[in-house]
Amino acid sequence: MKGECVCGKVTYEVAENISKLYQCHCSICQKQTGSASQTGFFCQSENFAWLSGQGLISSFKKESGYSVSFCSNCGSTVPNVFRTGDKYWVPAGAFNNLVDAKIENHIFVANKADWDEICGEATQHEGFFAVYL
């Protein structure tokens, strides 16, 4: 599966079946996206490859450990290495046709915006939760 940023300069490939998405409702994701949440998934590093535009990627890291990478040309969130070092956090919206994917876990629900109404059957976790860590 190929993902890309809005301007199309940063592209990458995931050689894994993308099925289980996380939706993070934490206060930092709200500010970073300007929206209610951020949706993405974890991909093992060996199954991830940059295809183009790696030189355009900027990163920001908070002291708490939160980090985000983005295309310096268009501002889109792009994958970044998760703090465990062996996997990437990959934004789901970068892919055009994730037909088999669905949100399995909502995380940091305790911090969600008051106007954020969570729908669907996915499990809601008060704080952090990840199956593969």
Binding mask 54-83 for Zn ion (x = CB under 5 A): -----------------x-xx---------
27-56: which residues touch Zn ion (CB under 5 A)? 29
To the nearest whole angstrom, how small is the minimum distance from the Cβ of residue 72 to Zn ion?
Answer: 8
Which of 21, 24, 68, 94 binds Zn ion (CB under 5 A)? It is 24
Per rule CB under 5 A, count of chain residues that contact Zn ion: 9
To the nearest whole angstrom, how small is the minimum distance from the Cβ of residue 111 to Zn ion?
Answer: 8
Residues written for the chain: 133
Quick one: three-class SS letters along 43-108?
Answer: EEHHHEEEEECHHHEEEEECCCCCEEEEECCCCCEECEECCCCCEEEEEHHHECCCCCCEEEEEEC
